[in-house]
A and B are shown apart, each in its own frame.
Chain A
């Protein structure tokens, strides 16, 4: 509640100071927010922003030294271009097709054969995306533009694979992870005394200053300890694997965070409205919704997911503030967030 107090008491919501940004990194300072909020952002961009990754591999021919399952595993971990995936692709479980189709998957083919005496190295760039697909190109960040090595072939060996890439989230498998790591720090001078630095002789000598230390004033000599202080300035460095741009990762992350919150709100609304008689049923639905934010293709709990759709559209769309206000908890969050965010 402290965080909200602060928001109410003057400052105008979160402040983002971007320190450095390029195609792989977004280094910024997020201030004037609650710890739980900052951590939620971190968690969501690590685990719940959907990307595209190879999920099924149909092996037509594999005479390489790598067994099928190992090759498939390697293919899965290749980052694929997945910007705006929500506009372009459905989760397979939401799609009407059996198995997979163009609306819920991207097909990549890998055909390679070594005919000469020199060994052939198969790179990620050799993955060919089906014509017309809007996304799914392998991410090639190295200078030569080859991408990661998939396999090596000697004379006579060949690969002929049909790879079906699907939308999914890192909660299910790390291959859908858009971020490699998210650096996250607050209170570089340990003014809040959250951590009790262990030292052998001299804490100052043994503990190097964090790179973020320059962004905050160190504690003054004899400065009294503020018991009420809470962290509110977070140094975050998002490093992506290339499938999404860092800004998109963040934007998507915020979107999914809102969706999740909205789901909670909707769930609470529903159970509160249903009254004691149908309480059990309401709870079940609420729970389904609660973790139904985004899921990977294999968790086929269709009911929960459909409910979720109903749940989130209302508060998140234009009517967000209104819907939020109608909830029993309306006063605090829904309005605040939907106002605060563009």
Chain B
């Protein structure tokens, strides 16, 4: 096939991958004073911050939620007001809320600067919170609304959100406030830890999904596995899922859950309650003019209508009253509300809550029934809930807002129950008395902030409704700053839900084509969370606001759509046009396409007030495929991504719902007739981290997955503001470098600020034998010059308040004094102690010295009892020596107490050791097996010695050709002094990477293919083969022997079994398990088996009676025994009397009981557990008997 395609030229793009060192240095010295230099990074975390802002902005979700909560009422049951018969009525509502920024408590009178910045919270191990205040309104009967402002605790704030001091700060002022110059925010600070609410995949909102699920059949008799489900979302982002179930007899029921309980209602009842209607209208709403002959449909519909007659509810009023009567208790409605009103409330709060108009709800419900019958008839397929097409992302801010909404509602309910319990307790509830109200409110739990704090710190959701979610735990994660890749990944990760983790089927984990461009196909961990924990493709965004679509309904009507309200619709108008779950019209299949195409054109063009992120899902008519129609989505939580719209050559945002029905070419040359879109870049499908794998298109795909994992485990540079951080554990590479081989995206995301490894000269050669099985040899001289040198920082908080039980401080840091009147010995002891620790703590304040080295057991800080003067120590617990890096004195929140806590940061040096783990960026990990002397290393003609030697056997089976290409590219880049572009998909068959880099190598006077003749360092003889030598970026992984080695000769044993305990921390042993034992047996090493399983384990000598074969019947003699056998068998012995004293075989036990005989005992060696087993069996009445011979 002759290719006339213009080859993708890497040469031209090579210019983009530049080192840009000077600019980085300049930026680092003088952070920009206007805006960030890396907007791409800001975009990466945008969903988090924007969702928070959407909740807490003026008129945001929380304001809407407060409106939605509405009023709660309570009656005093006093006779005074006989109007309703319930007494006086107290109505309460929340009118508004105020959320302040993080400020000092008003109890602190002295401070001038009252703002609390995030860095302070991190350093003090506290939380970043602002005061939450609710404006509570109440009225008695029909009186005036009374206002009351209630403080509801401190609410954790999102860093960089609209309640954060750092919002909109320039990099310069961020640095001034002890943050990274590129601080991103999007997380909360909880007890000094950075926590974020992980994004969660949920069902797409406001779309009636046809679902086939076996669990549906378990709802009751005659239920089938078919249903149509719609997750309706209110404007405040709280949601309610409605399902209609198909029953085997053709009937349909409506299911919802309320406060975690499920309820089933005949769907006809809902329909009749929604509008004043009749059977004919319902029939015509479901059966289109073209379906009148469809007896399958009409039969079932007839049955549906007929069975409902049994309820004898005819009008809307009757139906509402019936529903209201049934659900009055469930919905906890005030007793003075009529049944009809309760029925209306039911419809408002439960049925299709995304819609406000009952007519819209009616039409949507009819549509759902229509779709369900179509599913049953097989004319449409079930929608795949596991496909991104039917999914959206639950964002942290929105979840936070929902919880807050529920807590606020709970607060109102608590007030109500407080009034009720007052009444029950005989307290006179005078609603009109401000004193009573204040006293009553004071008794109500108002700590809303604390419950959100609990949510963030544990990730546990305690909610009466469950928030329509499938899990109650694991919502939050710590944003670990292990290195920057890991950190940024936290904000891009999307979890499928922990419910699916237990699922045995793997269908949910599958990589489906619908995710293309939204979820990265590479960046998912292997193992148990594989496919459940995904990461967003780097260009994927998430909508956080509802776009203005007010012009869409009139616009589509001009495009030939028939209004849904004008009945009847023409016979050919069979496809619905829906906007966010609201049916705005019907049109013919032909028109539907035109409508969709026109809308898209207007959208990209920016005309006709069609918002730019509108999702135009045109599902064409198919033979048993997805139910057709035009579905428009404009709301929050949708994934969207940019692609180029070919007709206008402009950027279009597409969503996962519409994408399967669009023709999007991957590259420009591949555009075919009929393609409407083309990708801006094929790498847009990859996540940020996956994009950093050089030449990933050359690698076998699992290797790229491994690299995504290992990139996040690398000991890198967590940040530049390390001084102001107190993470529990932080890893840092001290000799990080900027990679020679990098994608331009590396610069776009500013990753050069956080180097993650070193450019190493790597020889692929089997040299010493120490590079077998994925081991690698490091040049000792390279190691001595700092290759891979790393540091671990650990922070420990020493809190005196935890040591003393009293509330006021009794302990203080510093040396105490010997008690007054102490004797000579005590004084000497104190002196000795002081002398001993003088080196580490040689000043009186008792605080650690910065720069001091400590080993296990060394005192870190001294404190004393201020009353007695007794001195105590905090000791260093780590097993390896550490330097004291920083010491912080922590005051309390108000600043009115003496120092009660310090935070000490330890610095542990981690020079590479044998056994430490390294990897290239291609999923090629290896353990350092030797630090080989430089003179013995092989060398090239120019005298170059490799920093790292790896074995060629690492390649054939793994097929990481990308690493070879990187090696060549790195070598050429190093020789010519420029950075190399390693973006995947840049080379092709016509223009290969090898040619490109080979050419560069040749220009530099090296072999075209990267090989070099090398000489043995030991003999100086040239190797028979030439060696592949190049420059590869190496990462040092955080798995180090120092954290892992385990050794034991003797040590602690389990008290019950007397076998060695397990666990490295407890000095335990490594278990020789069944399989290990099998292999020892197979080797015939019986002695070793005995040594491991007995001698080095629970070796035990015990007495046993030869006669009866019992361990347990043996007992030591106290008196009268012969010298030889001090232990006798009590079972074999016979009772003796005082006359037997002195007879042969006479003995006494510890209680003075006299016995004769039983002296046929001996000592045997057993594993101690055998004895334990004997005792346990004895407790069950089972005796064990041992034959002892000879």
Residues of A within 8 A of B (CB): 35-36, 38-39, 42-43, 46-47, 59, 62, 65, 67-70, 73, 77, 170-171, 173-175, 177, 181-187, 194-200, 205-208, 210-211, 237, 239
User: A183 near B1006 (CB under 8 angstroms)?
Assistant: no
Docked pose: A38 CA to B939 CA in angstroms: 14
Is residue B64 contacting chain A, with contact meaning CB distance below 8 A?
A: no
Docked pose: A183 CA to B313 CA in angstroms: 100
Is residue B553 contacting chain A, with contact meaning CB distance below 8 A?
A: no
Q: Give the residue among A46, A59, A183, A200 with the most B Cβ atoms within 10 A.
A: A46
Docked pose: A35 CA to B1002 CA in angstroms: 29
Nearest A residue to B785 via CB reads: A174
User: B933 near A171 (CB under 8 angstroms)?
Assistant: yes
User: B851 near A68 (CB under 8 angstroms)?
Assistant: yes
| 6 interchain pairs, CB-CB under 8 A | A171-B935, A174-B781, A185-B941, A196-B1025, A208-B1006, A237-B943
B909 contacts across to A, CB distance below 8 A: 69
User: A195 near B1024 (CB under 8 angstroms)?
Assistant: yes
A182 contacts across to B, CB distance below 8 A: 939, 943
Docked pose: A200 CA to B939 CA in angstroms: 23
Q: A73-B786, A174-B780 are in contact. Are A208 and B1022 (CB under 8 A)?
A: no
Docked pose: A65 CA to B885 CA in angstroms: 11
The tally of residues in B whose CB lies under 8 Å from a CB in A reads 42
User: B785 near A181 (CB under 8 angstroms)?
Assistant: no
User: A184 near B943 (CB under 8 angstroms)?
Assistant: yes
User: A68 near B883 (CB under 8 angstroms)?
Assistant: yes
User: A67 near B885 (CB under 8 angstroms)?
Assistant: yes
Q: How far is the CB of A155 from chain B (nearest CB, A)?
A: 14
Q: A183-B941, A198-B1025 are in contact. Are A43 and B1011 (CB under 8 A)?
A: no
A184 CB contact (under 8 Å) in B789, B941, B1011, B1024: B941
B1005 CB contact (under 8 Å) in A35, A208, A237: A208
Docked pose: A73 CA to B943 CA in angstroms: 25
Is residue B985 contacting chain A, with contact meaning CB distance below 8 A?
A: no
Docked pose: A73 CA to B944 CA in angstroms: 23
User: A36 near B1020 (CB under 8 angstroms)?
Assistant: yes
Q: A170-B781, A174-B780, A198-B1026 are in contact. Are A46 and B1011 (CB under 8 A)?
A: no
Nearest A residue to B909 via CB reads: A69
A211 contacts across to B, CB distance below 8 A: 1005
Closest 8 CB pairs of A and B: A39-B1020, A181-B943, A174-B781, A174-B784, A194-B1022, A183-B943, A206-B1008, A185-B941
Is residue B371 contacting chain A, with contact meaning CB distance below 8 A?
A: no
Is residue B942 contacting chain A, with contact meaning CB distance below 8 A?
A: yes
Nearest A residue to B1002 via CB reads: A208
Taking CB atoms and an 8 Å cut-off, the chain B residues in 905-944 that contact chain A are 907, 909, 933-935, 939, 941-944
B1015 CB contact (under 8 Å) in A181, A184, A199: A184
User: B781 near A207 (CB under 8 angstroms)?
Assistant: no
Docked pose: A194 CA to B1021 CA in angstroms: 8
Chain B interface, >50% SS class: loop
* Per-residue interface assignment for chain B, residues 799 to 820, with 1 indicating a CB less than 8 Å from any chain A CB and 0 otherwise: 0000000000000000000000
Q: How far is the CB of B168 from chain A (nearest CB, A)?
A: 27
Docked pose: A175 CA to B783 CA in angstroms: 11
Residues of B within 8 A of A (CB): 723, 734, 780-782, 784-786, 789, 791, 851, 883, 885, 907, 909, 933-935, 939, 941-945, 1002, 1005-1009, 1011, 1013, 1015, 1017, 1019-1026
Q: A67-B883, A195-B1013, A200-B1009 are in contact. Are A39 and B934 (CB under 8 A)?
A: no
B939 contacts across to A, CB distance below 8 A: 182, 184
User: B941 near A210 (CB under 8 angstroms)?
Assistant: yes
Nearest B residue to A65 via CB reads: B723
A197 contacts across to B, CB distance below 8 A: 1013, 1026
Q: A170-B781, A174-B785, A194-B1024 are in contact. Are A69 and B883 (CB under 8 A)?
A: yes
Q: A67-B851, A173-B784, A181-B944 are in contact. List 14 more A-B contacts (CB 8 A).
A: A35-B1020, A35-B1021, A46-B935, A67-B885, A67-B907, A70-B789, A174-B782, A174-B785, A183-B942, A184-B1015, A195-B1022, A195-B1024, A195-B1026, A206-B1009
Q: How far is the CB of A162 from chain B (nearest CB, A)?
A: 15
B1015 contacts across to A, CB distance below 8 A: 39, 184
Docked pose: A207 CA to B1013 CA in angstroms: 10
Nearest B residue to A73 via CB reads: B786
Q: How far is the CB of A255 from chain B (nearest CB, A)?
A: 17
A187 CB contact (under 8 Å) in B780, B1019, B1022: B1022
User: A207 near B1007 (CB under 8 angstroms)?
Assistant: yes
Q: How far is the CB of B765 from chain A (nearest CB, A)?
A: 13
User: A206 near B943 (CB under 8 angstroms)?
Assistant: no
User: A195 near B1023 (CB under 8 angstroms)?
Assistant: yes
Nearest B residue to A67 via CB reads: B907
A186 contacts across to B, CB distance below 8 A: 1022
B1026 contacts across to A, CB distance below 8 A: 195-198
User: A208 near B1020 (CB under 8 angstroms)?
Assistant: no
A39 contacts across to B, CB distance below 8 A: 1015, 1019-1020
A200 contacts across to B, CB distance below 8 A: 1008-1009
Docked pose: A77 CA to B1009 CA in angstroms: 35
Q: A43-B935, A69-B909, A174-B785 are in contact. Are A62 and B1022 (CB under 8 A)?
A: no
Nearest B residue to A179 via CB reads: B943
Q: How far is the CB of A259 from chain B (nearest CB, A)?
A: 17
